[in-house]
């Protein structure tokens, strides 16, 4: 396993990051513990969660993922061996308000009071007294968070960038947060946060956690240069397009126990051109004699603007396959082939 610096923080993270959002929905606590045991044994020391998880969001499972991690930390005493990241929810309108996540029943926002509450609750569930990375799960601005290929303006009603950083800074000074990051963010938002931190001496964002995979390379258009020049690398989530890039949904297949079968939330990966593009990458993997999941994961791992690629699995077989992908040799032939397919069908699953 390779390790790199998280932004300019001095914190070293594994290039493979353990995603956890199925723990508490598709995975039991015992299964979550088994995944954590195996991942750490393979050198995966960077783990990502969120106050909203398990996914998809609902009041019955909210916080269960952090609780499963917390019980593992208490049982093993290995908190110092991992870099632990979590997230505060963004503007709740993106998910119908999420009022059940806040004690007053209000919509989630990134106010100081809500950030304070979210940090406190995450620490309790995780049974730790600090987080190595704390991220804004999606913007407080009412932007189009998921999907879409066109721009639409939004009302100018959002918490000021500096105010959000000030709220986070209070926790940095307390020692409950070591570094901060953003997620599902856009170039303007990243640059505004960077400007506020530089002008006012506030915490500097260390990472951008956005969707990135073979069928969605939109990060490269505006954010990749920022990630490189400003040292705020990408934490690539959904690198398998929620499993679509394994080919398991091609030709109308609906595997029992899959996320599509359980939740029918795969529309982001079923737009015009998606089936053709995904089939192309699956067939390309066959041409090179590699597992489609491993081709997709290694693609992300070889991008120079990527700090870490976030994997997720509901079975140990999947987890082992995913982690092994980081040992795959990436060739110039693979690079040329994926870029040729991208040119034919660019970003069908933004």
Catalytic residues: 53
CA distance to 43, 44, 110, 257, per residue, from 40 (Å): 5, 5, 32, 26
In 51-203 the beta strands, taken as DSSP E runs, fall at 83-88, 133-136, 180-183
Contacts of 280 (CB under 8 A, 6+ apart): 341, 344, 345
Listing DSSP states for 10-56 in one string gives: --EEESEEEE-TTBTTTB-HHHHHHHHHHHHHTT--EEE--TT-SSS
Cα–Cα distance for residue pair 37/27, rounded to 1 Å: 15
Contacts of 193 (CB under 8 A, 6+ apart): 161, 164, 165, 182, 205
Cα–Cα distance for residue pair 254/289, rounded to 1 Å: 25
């Amino acid at each position: 396993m390779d390790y790199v610096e998280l932004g300019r923080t001095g914190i070293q993270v594994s290039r493979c990051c353990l995603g956890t959002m199925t723990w508490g929905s598709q995975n039991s606590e015992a299964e979550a513990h088994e995944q954590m045991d195996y991942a750490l044994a393979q050198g995966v020391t960077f783990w990502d969660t969120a106050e909203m998880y398990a996914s998809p969001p609902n009041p019955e499972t909210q916080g269960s993922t952090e609780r499963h991690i917390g019980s593992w930390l208490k049982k093993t005493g290995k908190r110092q061996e991992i870099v632990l990241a979590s997230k505060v929810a963004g503007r709740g309108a993106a998910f119908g308000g999420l009022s059940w996540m806040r004690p007053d029943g209000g919509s989630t926002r990134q106010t100081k009071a809500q950030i304070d509450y979210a940090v406190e609750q995450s620490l309790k569930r995780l049974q730790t007294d600090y987080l190595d990375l704390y991220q804004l799960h999606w913007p407080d601005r009412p932007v189009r968070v998921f999907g879409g290929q066109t721009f639409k303006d939004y009302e100018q009603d959002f918490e000021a960038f500096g105010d959000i950083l000030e709220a986070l800074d209070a926790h940095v000074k307390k020692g409950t947060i070591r570094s901060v990051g953003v997620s599902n963010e856009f170039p303007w938002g990243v640059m505004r946060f960077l400007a506020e931190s530089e002008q006012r001496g506030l915490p500097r964002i260390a990472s951008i956690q956005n969707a990135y995979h073979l069928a969605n390379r939109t990060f490269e258009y505006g954010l990749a240069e920022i990630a490189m020049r400003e040292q705020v690398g990408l934490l690539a989530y959904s690198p398998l397009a929620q499993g679509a890039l394994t080919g398991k949904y091609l030709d109308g297949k609906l595997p029992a126990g899959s996320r599509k079968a359980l939740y029918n939330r795969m529309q982001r990966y079923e737009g015009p051109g998606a089936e053709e593009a995904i089939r192309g990458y699956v067939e390309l993997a066959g041409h090179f004699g590699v597992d489609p999941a491993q081709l997709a994961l290694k693609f992300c791992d070889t991008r120079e603007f990527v700090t870490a690629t976030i994997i997720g699995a509901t079975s140990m077989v999947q987890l082992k396959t995913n982690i092994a992908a980081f040992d795959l040799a990436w060739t110039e032939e693979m690079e040329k082939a994926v870029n040729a397919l991208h040119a034919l069908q660019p970003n069908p699953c933004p």
